[in-house]
Amino acid sequence: MKIAVVGCGAVGSYYGAMLCRDGHEVHFLLRSDYEVVRRNGVFVRSAAGDFNARPRCARLPEEIGVSDVVLIALKTTANDQLQKLLTPLVGRSTAVVTLQNGLGNEEQLARLFPADQILGGLCFVCLNRIEPGVVHHLDHGRIVLGEFQRWPEPRTHDIASAIRHAGVQCKVTDNLARAHWEKLVWNVPFNGLGVASAAGIDAVSGARCEVSGKHECLTTAQLLADSRWESLVRELMLEVISVARKLGHDIPDRLSDTQIERTRSMGDYKASTAVDFERGLPLELESLFVEPLRHAQQQGVATPRLKALCGVLSQLDPRTDLSQLNKG
């Protein structure tokens, strides 16, 4: 397949490199890392085995042209660039696959391209981009792949097979919306509290409203090593599950236990939103936190921990507008 990767940070570089190593024609759309990757390729450091892949490199999407598959791994804060970046890559038979976090990404793509071309992939992986062209793979890697508002198509299984052949676990889901909420059960507490821990436990638990002072963002291991933080992790997970169930997704409470135990195996992992915060980058607050809270309020589900978390995060990254959310 001819595969275009848009958003070549940790996620895009890792999965793109895996597919490139397996023999696919993989094109990276690059900006700041262009010269490094063009010259040296992508290095993946992994307990499963280090390797170097050499994708084709482009600065402009027009240099790549229409592709069989477009993998979108941009931060959702850059979604206003989707039309400009994707239009030269997408033909009538192109599968447009977003690997982005949170809710609403497929809907945005469906406003640009036919809905029957849109797929979503949920990545359960521990990765960090440690320098230009270098990705550290710490653990996991599984992708859950599904069609946007449709049952899986033959092409869904073809893409999943290609991903598996490249050495990545890939499961096809017949309910992409449910899969999004299952991933939010992990993403909301560990990405959110990883950042909010910079404000201290009192700010997040609601003991005080104002964020003052900044501490170091906590890793997943640090969050689970402290009973107060672990309690907040579990409470947030159960709130997310309650919203999902109200929306008709039969997600059991025990998923919180499963997710916490899986996270213990990751060791000292710092979630992507915490890494972005420490680097002074915009945070993916809208798709990861605000949109789930909006669904909760629309469904009349009380989520006091999620609401408090959104408040703390919006103070730490004031670019987020919470004015349209209910105040009650």
- Nearest Cα residue to 16 out of 34, 4, 31: 4
Query: What integer best gives the mean pLDDT of the chain?
Result: 93
pLDDT, tens digit (0-9, with 9 covering 90-100), for 184-221: 999 999 999 999 998 888 877 864 444 445 568 999 99
CATH superfamily of 2-174: NAD(P)-binding Rossmann-like Domain (3.40.50.720)
Is residue 328 over pLDDT 80? no
pTM, rounded to two decimals: 0.92
Domains of the chain, by residue range, sit at 2-174, 179-316
Q: Are 251 and 233 in contact (CB under 8 A)?
A: no
Give the pLDDT score at 215.
66
Taking Cα atoms as reference points, which of 152, 189, 185 lies closest to residue 170?
A: 152
Do the beta carbons of residue 240 and residue 292 sit within 8 Å? yes
Mean pLDDT across 228-255: 97
Do residues 206 and 177 make contact, with C-beta atoms less than 8 angstroms apart?
A: no
Q: What sign has the CA pseudo-torsion 64, 148, 321, 239? A: negative
Residue ranges of E strands in 80-164: 95-98, 118-131, 134-147
DSSP state at residue 268: S
The CA distance from 87 to 82, in Å, is 8
pLDDT in tens, 306-316: 999 999 998 88
Distance, in Å, from the CA atom of 244 to the CA atom of 285, rounded to the nearest integer, reads: 19
Residue 285 clears pLDDT 80, i.e. is over it = yes
DSSP state at residue 87? G
Q: Is the pLDDT of residue 174 over 70?
A: yes
**CA distance between the termini of the chain:** 50
Q: What is the mean pLDDT of residues 136-155?
A: 95
Is 183 one of the catalytic residues?
yes
pLDDT in tens, 89-108: 999 999 999 999 999 999 99
- The stretch 41-67 carries a mean pLDDT of 97
Instruction: Choose the catalytic residue: 2, 75, 171, 183.
Output: 183
- CATH architecture classification, 179-316: Orthogonal Bundle (1.10)
Residues 79-84, mean pLDDT to the nearest whole number: 96
Can you tell me whether residue 269 is helix, strand or coil?
Answer: coil
